[in-house]
Structure 1
Amino acid sequence: MRRPIRYSIDQIQRAAELREAGLTFPEIASQLGMKRTSVEYHCMRLGADPAARRQIRQGRGAMIQKRGNHLVRRFSTDDDATLMALVEQGLRHAEIARRMGRAQTSIAGRLVTLARAAARGEDE
């Protein structure tokens, strides 16, 4: 079993600053000695994203996509509505994930994405 990599708070904050400055995830990862996927996760979690970056839109590509060796289901407009209704009921991420048949990390990630879009005034 692989041990999770832990990054310092300074590394994570610096990654967010570099992302806000417009650097790409691979550039940041190389500069800070981090994994690209970790940079993506921490930047998403902190909402670090250049303002001119792409808008989040529904309906692009297949609903099920292959990433590496596994399949990923995109969230539909109906999924987002269900997710928000369950959040409004006060359910925890684990319960929402169980009801929607998704991973808890997918629920947390989608909520961050939706919050970021709402803060920018983007249409879903």
Structure 2
Amino acid sequence: MGGKRILSDQQLDEMAALRERGWSIDRIAEYFTAAGTPISASSINWQCMRVGADAPPRLRGKHTRPGAPYVRYGFTVRPWTDEDDALLVELEVAGKKMREICRRLGRANSSVRGRLLTLARRDARREEKAG
């Protein structure tokens, strides 16, 4: 699953520390690229989500949720609804395989994995606020 890794474990740790210190996704990508490890901002964003590295609360953007399908890079994107999220979590908690979850939701593997990471980040933020 997945391709060749761009960042080593040590670099991933450094990336997470930089993000949690407040560096932007673009700045982190530029930092690693300048140091000889070319990486895109979107790859940095994905890795930060994957390892749970989040910006400090004072630097987080406002959460918005598109209400209707939109086009990104020539592809129509169907926004996640509350019902989609509930079904996703239900299937994941039930231990369903990713292939089945994707089929049931009619979404790509990367979309489902990304949404699970997003929901986990939101839960972590809620816990942070409550604690």
TM-score range, shorter chain: 0.7 to 0.9
Matched, 1:70 2:75: yes
Q: TM-score, normalised by structure 1?
A: 0.82
Does the 8 Å contact 1:16/1:43 carry over to 2? yes
Which residue is 1:48 aligned to?
Answer: 53
Matched, 1:109 2:118: no
Q: CA deviation at 1:5?
A: 6.0
Structure number with higher relative contact order (C-alpha < 8 Å, ≥ 6 residues apart): 1
Which residue is 1:11 aligned to?
Answer: 11
What is the root-mean-square deviation in Å for CA atoms of aligned residues?
A: 2.0
**One-letter amino acid matched to 1:23:** W
Aligned residues: 118
Q: Which runs of 4 or more aligned residues in structure 1 lie more than 3 Å from their structure 2 counterparts after TM superposition? A: 54-57
Does the 8 Å contact 2:25/2:41 carry over to 1? yes
Once residues 6 and 123 of structure 2 are traced to their aligned partners in structure 1, the CA distance between those partners, rounded to angstroms, is 30
Identity among equivalent pairs (%) = 38
Matched, 1:92 2:97: yes
Matched, 1:27 2:27: yes
Q: CA deviation at 1:71?
A: 2.2
Does the 8 Å contact 1:56/1:117 carry over to 2? no
Q: For structure 2, which runs of at least 5 residues remain unmatched after alignment?
A: 34-38
Q: For structure 1, which runs of at least 5 residues remain unmatched after alignment?
A: none
